[in-house]
Structure 1
Amino acid sequence: MNGIYLSQDLTHAYGILEKINKQLNEFEKNGFHMTRQINGKRNIFHLLRNLVPFFSEQYFNTKTINWKNFDFVYIRKGAVLDKSVVRLVKKAKTLNPNIIVILEVPTYPYMDEFNGLVKFDIMMKEKLWTGKLTKYVDRVVTYSDDQKIFGIECLNISNAYEFSGLNIGSEKKDQSINLLGVATLCFYHGYDRLIEGLHKYYANNLNKTEITFTLIGDGPVLKKYQKMVTDYQLEHVVHLEGRKQLSELTSFYQAADIGVDSLARHRSGVSYNSSLKGKEYLAKGLPIISGVKTDLDERNLPFYYRVSSDDTAIEISDIENWYKNLLKDKTKKQLSEEIYLYGKNNFTFDKTFSPVIAYLKGAIDE
């Protein structure tokens, strides 16, 4: 059973690249012989060409592929599903009618993540071409709870993480609570809600527990967060650390008590999200706060707390009470071990990617 995996060049995005490598490992472990085809790095010519609806090209290193050599093709969606993607899957099906075409859509819906001319450009191209994908794509892999995308049946999977061992810090002697967020900071992460909440908490709570928030990462909204912290005089409470190397993150995770996932996915039109960052927090043994429904919601987990999907300030006192209740009859170490074990039992790559493997084996055996 031979497969080919197509993706854009993602050497700049370590987390995504690692996820692709793990998917390829799962294919190989299950008896598939994989070829990986990485799109070349884009130059100014590609960027300009991609602005033109009928000439944009997402995958331009596929002309030498012999489609008859493969039982299936797994395509990780690039920036836009334009004519070139339709042309690609049409060619694969024409030259090999038995080939199975799977399209992974990492985020859905995704249109509200863009704005201005970029959003208009993508909307126009996809309005023209996504309807034609139904002729050639057999399944869409999604981390959402949609049953169909672009009129194509979905394989619903969860994000996964490598649970390679728990490395927790020492027990704290004080009652402080340290919240941690790690992200490439976009508007839909919504950490402004948490900063607003801390501002109100410290303004109104006379007998307050020391609650801090450490945010690692940079991005378009970092300056907004910096201004909020300065205006509210929260420099002693909110620590904006900027981007860090992977090797530097261990100490931050060890010092953290709670991992803060995206708090405003509603701003990008997303109502369900299997968060990769949430799985990383599980692997670090951290309780999780989220502002969007995830694959943890249905499990009634005590260490998972979902706040409202709106723009209101986070009620810090509620977070404080929830966390203290978690530690009523156990130590932080025991709580971390419980969280880690749950993640390891449910969100390893072999478990979360199994719907794709099962579908391919069943389809190919037919």
Structure 2
Amino acid sequence: MFFEKSFHKNKNNGVYKKVLDQIDAFKNHEIDISVLNIADFLPQKKGFRKINLLLNKKEYTKNIPNSYYNCDFFYIRYWLLTFPFLNLLKKIAEKKILIILEIPTYPYDDEYRRTDLKSQIFLLIDKLIRKKIKRYVNAISTYSGDEQIFDISTIKISNGLNFSRIPMRINEIKNNEINLLIISQFSFWHGYDRILKGLEIYVRDIIINSKTIVKLHFVGDGKEYEIYKNICLESKLDQYCFFYGLKSGKDLDAIANHCDIGVCSLGAHRKKCYLSSELKSREYVAYGLPMISSVKIDFVDDKWPYLLRVPEDDSPIDIISVVNYFNKVYKNNNSEEISRIIRSYGFARCDINVAIRPVIDYLANSKN
């Protein structure tokens, strides 16, 4: 049984696509799996009545049919813990069903300290509950290097995606123009205000001598999306910045084909994250894009030539260093060859069937 609390969300959302990839990977390893989307079994509640989802411990278990417990294991993707969720774990464990809880980001507290009040309340409740889940959870799958989380042994996995659904980009290098792709659910810790500030400085002071135009292509949504659009307008960068909203499939592929470099997070230090497993880095290498990042990326070797590390602080991004990086990577105008090398490197490390393998091995060993 594959448990997901938000499977109903926008199908262009990266997390939605990630869930589909994980389900396919389990099936590819000959595991018969069903999906339990908790949202399908909860009444629609608004305002103060929604507090039941925090405090009423039977809010989940009273709505989920008993037929969903006829399985060998639950693989649960969940973010913040609540009392009804804790009660659900208890009920599953009482039925002697194996529980693997995936925590996509750990530690995660700093992600919520600068968010809305509702998220901060959820975090406080999570802190009350987290030490109790060791009674019920058999293992935690994690992208971090931790041996234990909440006193529970971990299964170390990597964030992966299905490379077969993302075509390698085919892009002709344009004279004196560099296009940067930015895919995200934009939050303050992504730090793209840094590259906008850097572009403002570049356009104002340097572009005349450099003669290379740099353009930014923003794909996605999130709390910072409108903020970035406003920065762009206020800085008079509208001819260099393009905002597409959420895109997927052929629409996203077409944008990627137009771009030369993918931009990963530039502000992960703001949430005290110093090793990234973000999905966007996997998407970029699947397309065959070189990358820029301020944070170390988990699957990338330190000397890999197709990642430019920029300072891990809040300083404006030096666009001249981006131009120099572009010229170094594409010095022989060999875009297709570079894409093939990058995609092959990423596939061996990040394809979903490789990424999920430690969980498959854990399940196999648990039967012995």
TM-score by length of 1: 0.89
Q: How many residues align?
A: 358
Structure 2: 5+ residue stretches without partners: none
- 2:142–2:156: 8 Å Cα contact kept in structure 1? yes
Which deviates further from its counterpart, 171-180 or 257-266?
171-180
Distance, in Å, in 1 between the alignment partners of 2:222 and 2:3 is 28
Contact 1:8 1:59 in 2 (8 A): no
- Measure, in 1, the Cα distance between the counterparts of 2:303 and 2:367: 37
Q: Which amino acid aligns with 2:152?
A: I
- Is residue 72 of structure 1 aligned with residue 73 of structure 2? yes
Aligned to 2:189: 188
Of the structure 1 ranges 227-236 and 130-139, higher mean CA displacement relative to structure 2 is found in 227-236
Once the two structures are superposed, residues 57-96 of structure 1 have per-residue CA deviations (whole angstroms, 9 ceiling, x without a partner) of 67454351464x4322111114x21222222222222232
Q: Match of 1:62?
A: 64
Identity of aligned residues (%): 31
Local SS of the residue matching 2:92: helix
Gaps of 5+ in 1: none
Aligned partners of 1:224, 1:33: CA distance in 2, in Å?
44
Question: Where does residue 5 of structure 1 map in the other structure?
Answer: 2
Deviations 1:129-153 (A, max 9, x none): 1111111111111123333222212
Q: CA offsets, 1:212-236, max 9 Å, x none?
A: 1111223322232222222222122
Residue 107 of structure 2 aligns with an amino acid whose one-letter code is P
- Taking structure 1 as reference, are residues 45 and 265 closer, same or farther at Cα in structure 2, changes over 3 Å only? same
| Contact 1:166/1:337 (<8 A) preserved | no
2:134 matched to 1:134?
Answer: yes
Taking structure 1 as reference, are residues 173 and 214 closer, same or farther at Cα in structure 2, changes over 3 Å only?
A: closer
Query: C-alpha distance in 2, partners of 1:216/1:299?
Result: 28
Corresponding position of 1:314: 317
Q: Is residue 168–residue 286 contact of structure 2 (8 Å, CA) maintained in 1?
A: no
3-state SS in 2 of match to 1:194: helix
Residue 168 to residue 116, structure 1, CA distance change in 2 (3 Å)? closer
Q: Secondary structure at the match of 1:37?
A: strand
Alignment of 1:13-52 (within 5 A): 13-14=10-11, 15-41=14-40, 43-45=43-45, 48-51=48-51
Matching of residue 268 in structure 1 with residue 267 in structure 2: no
> Are positions 1:327 and 2:330 aligned together?
yes
| Aligned positions of 1:321-360 closer than 5 A | 321-329=324-332, 331-360=334-363
* Alignment equivalent of 1:240, drawn from 239, 243, 247: 243
Give 2:228's aligned residue.
225
Residues 8-58 of structure 1 show CA distances to partners (whole Å, capped at 9, x for unaligned) of: 242324332332233223323334332322213455427745535532667
Pairing of 1:106-255 with structure 2 (within 5 A): 106-114=104-112, 115-164=115-164, 166-205=167-206, 206-208=208-210, 209-255=212-258
Instruction: Encode CA deviations 1:134-190: one digit per residue, 9 max, x unaligned.
Output: 111111111233332222122121122222364433423413211111222222221
CA contact (8 A) 1:82 1:130 kept: no
- Given the superposition, is the C-alpha separation of residues 117 and 9 from structure 1 closer, same or farther in structure 2, using an over 3 Å criterion? closer
Q: Which amino acid aligns with 1:101?
A: I
Question: 1 CA distance for matches of 2:243 and 2:174?
Answer: 24
The alpha-carbon distance between structure 1 residues 343 and 231, as it changes in their structure 2 partners (threshold 3 A), is same
For 1:167 and 1:141, the matched residues in 2 are separated by 29
Check 1:332–1:147 CA distance in 2 against 1; reply closer, same or farther (3 A cut). same
CA 1:338/1:245 → structure 2, altered by over 3 Å: closer, same or farther?
Answer: closer
